[in-house]
Amino acid sequence: MEVNESLDRLLPEAAMHPSSLHRAMRYSILAGGKRIRPVMCILVSEASGGVGRDFAVRAGCAIECVHTASLILDDLPSMDDAELRRGRKTTHREFSEATAILASIGLLNLGYAIITQSQDTDPEVKVQALDVLCEAVGSKGMIAGQEIDLHERHGFSEVSPIENLNWLKTGALFVASAQIGALAAGLNPSSVDAVKDFAKHVGLAFQTADDLIDHSGDIDAIGKDVGQDEGVPTLVSLSGDDAARLSCEENLALAHDTLRKTDLDSAGLLALVDSIFGSKI
Amino acid sequence: MEVNESLDRLLPEAAMHPSSLHRAMRYSILAGGKRIRPVMCILVSEASGGVGRDFAVRAGCAIECVHTASLILDDLPSMDDAELRRGRKTTHREFSEATAILASIGLLNLGYAIITQSQDTDPEVKVQALDVLCEAVGSKGMIAGQEIDLHERHGFSEVSPIENLNWLKTGALFVASAQIGALAAGLNPSSVDAVKDFAKHVGLAFQTADDLIDHSGDIDAIGKDVGQDEGVPTLVSLSGDDAARLSCEENLALAHDTLRKTDLDSAGLLALVDSIFGSKI
């Protein structure tokens, strides 16, 4: 798969000193994973003819670095204290807690470096892409989401703060992936808005589907700890399975509608959605 | 002080949700600190007439964010397990371990965002500055240094790997600070090399002086845990106090010489060096 091959090339070699750090970085990111975010970024760039595709591949890999960095942190003893991720031991259990934290920062930083070091890309496009990524990661994005998840979520009794949390933890990086693909391709503002809207709905559906799986609990199917949200409010626990499944379907329908209204070639993006959700809901 | 005022403006407000995260970020970075790196960045931009000074101030603040992020991590229970930093409780002791880790990532990410969002700066300069910063932070820079410090340093019996470690942990970001100041000012390549060389020698002297203080151990003077390197090889433990002091003086002399050979107005930079080391060695 193109994304995996690119990641393999972009990551420092395992033997590079200090090897423990570089092995941990490679272990975490090359463990598998569906690569939904980079694939979305690349497919958005293809949907208008493929201009900027090379940058979209690099930026997609950068986004996957950022995403993996967040997974390593979420799994730490001081956070979710998880044992399994992507079907094998979490990074801090395979290496050490300190090495896991440093590997996470290493991946985040590598993500930014992959964008700055892209050849043949307009510096203005790189700066815009980095800005989008920083917003999605930052203390008003994923980092805020993780802090709220750890320290506030247990008190939530309504759907609205849970939806906000899902947006911060999942939606923001989905939308950033589509937006960066659109920047790579130089899409016009209304098309940029459309693919962001598409990604927002896909992200919401994805998070809801994830909660449904965690709730139904099949560890072999998803390769990470399940039942971790037990006793923690989620869309599923607050609204029930049926309402969550309905919300998921509604978001997927909205995602389709959004693309249909553009002049983009959306076949690839729609196929991506089918491949993600075909087996999930 | 200009850097502190700029940092205060650039940091998210403490009340911003999630407040615990933003309070932790502000607590860590506004706790004081000598701001040597941002001041060096700004002074380098001033040494050729002050072109690009506004960007140098922002970039200097970005570098201080990155530096503070590294201090929070170094102090974590899984790393140095430190109690004090900059004269008060370390971030994970004042907040929680999870919040400290997220605040560190938040500051690192904010550093990058401060550069991407700089107004009236050539995108190419921003990209170059980000690239320099990513290199200094990355898994061949500070992150590598921290991993080596934790897992390899105890076995070092020679000066050379210690010097390499000091370069990774301290020198790389000192040099990046000067280099980014030079990029902001648009210095010619030979002047860029000179200020990088200057910063390298200042960084080496600074790390050696730090080891000397840790060895002599006056907690009130430095506001962080002392004696932490007890039993751990440092330049001081391997070469002795006198040789370390001599190495420090030699590096300062080399720093002076390097600047003297340029046509830069180096009064500010030399005054910075005096202010750092006047009371140290």
Over range B22-41, report the average pLDDT: 95
Residues of A with CB below 8 A from B183's CB? Answer: none
Instruction: Say if B137 is an interface residue toward chain A (CB within 8 Å).
Output: yes
The yes-or-no verdict on residue A235 having pLDDT over 90 is: no
What pLDDT does residue B267 have?
93
Q: Please report the pLDDT score of residue B229 as a whole number.
A: 63
Check pLDDT > 80 for residue B281: no
Residue from A25, A63, A116 whose CB has the most chain B CBs within 10 Å, to mutate: A116
| Residue from A80, A108, A127 whose CB has the most chain B CBs within 10 Å, to mutate | A127
Q: Which domain holds residue B196?
A: 2-277
pLDDT at site B63:
98
Q: Report phi then psi at A40, rounded to 5.
A: -60, -45
Query: What pLDDT band is residue B55 in, cutting at 50, 70 and 90?
Result: very high
Could you give the number of structural domains in chain B? 1
What would the mean pLDDT of A185-192 be, rounded to a whole number?
Answer: 95
How deeply is A239 buried, as exposed, middle or buried, from its count of CB atoms within 10 A (0-12, 13-18, 19+)?
A: middle
Residue A28 scores a pLDDT above 70? yes
Position A228 pLDDT exceeds 90: no
The CATH number of the domain where B139 resides is what? Answer: 1.10.600.10
Confidence (pLDDT) at A107: 98
- Residue B222 phi, psi dihedral angles, 5° rounding: -120, -10
Mean pLDDT for the stretch of residues A42-47:
96
Record: contact A108-B105, CB cut-off 8 A: yes
Q: For the segment B170-214, what is each residue's pLDDT rounded down to a tens digit? A: 999 999 999 999 999 999 999 999 999 999 999 999 999 988 887
Mean predicted confidence (pLDDT) in B95-121: 98
Which residues, in sequence order, are CB contacts of A14 under 8 Å at separation 6+? A22, A23, A26
Phi-psi domain of A176 (left: phi exceeds 0; alpha: psi -120 through 50; beta: other): alpha
Indicate the Cα dihedral angle B276, B278, B279, B280, nearest 10°: 70
Q: Which residues of A touch B101 (CB under 8 A)?
A: 73, 76, 78-79, 101
Determine the pLDDT at residue B260: 92
Tell me what the mean pLDDT of segment A266-272 comes to: 93
Given a cut of 90, whether residue A1 has pLDDT beyond it is no
Dihedral angle over CA of B220, B222, B225, B227, nearest 10: -90
Supply the pLDDT for residue B86: 85
Q: How confident is the model at residue B103 (pLDDT cuts 50, 70, 90)?
A: very high
Of B16, B20, B106, the CB nearest to A151: B20
> What's phi and psi for A2, nearest 5 deg?
-55, -45
- Using CA coordinates, name the residue in chain B closest to A102: B143
Residues 101-130 of B with CB under 8 A from A: 101-102, 104-106, 108-110, 112-113, 116-117, 122-124, 126-127, 130
Q: Which of A107-111, A207-211, B190-194 has the lowest mean pLDDT?
A: A207-211
Average pLDDT over residues B60-81: 98
A16 touches chain B (CB under 8 A): yes
User: Counting runs of H as helices and runs of E as strands, what totals does chain A give?
Assistant: 15, 2
Cα dihedral angle (B15, B21, B26, B32), rounded to 10 degrees? 150
pLDDT of residue B215: 77
Residues 64-83 of B with CB under 8 A from A: 73, 76, 78-79
Q: How far apart are CA A45 and CA A14, in angstroms?
A: 31
Q: Each residue of B229-249: b (16+ CB within 10 Å) or e?
A: beeebbbbbebeeeebbebbe
The first and second tokens of residue A119, run together, are: 């050849």
Phi (first) and psi of residue A45, to 5 degrees: -65, -30
CA distance B156 to chain A (A): 14
Tokens representing A117 are 């070091």
Look at A138-152, A175-189, B226-240 and tell me which has the smallest mean pLDDT: B226-240
Which of A170-185 are b and which e, b meaning 16 or more Cβ less than 10 Å from the residue's Cβ? bbbbbbbbbbbbbbbb
B215-238 residue pLDDT tens: 776 555 556 666 566 678 998 999
What pLDDT, on the 0 to 100 scale, is given for residue A50? 84
Distance between CA atoms of A152 and A168, rounded to whole angstroms?
A: 14
Q: With contact defined as beta carbons under 8 Å apart, do A198 and A258 qualify? A: yes
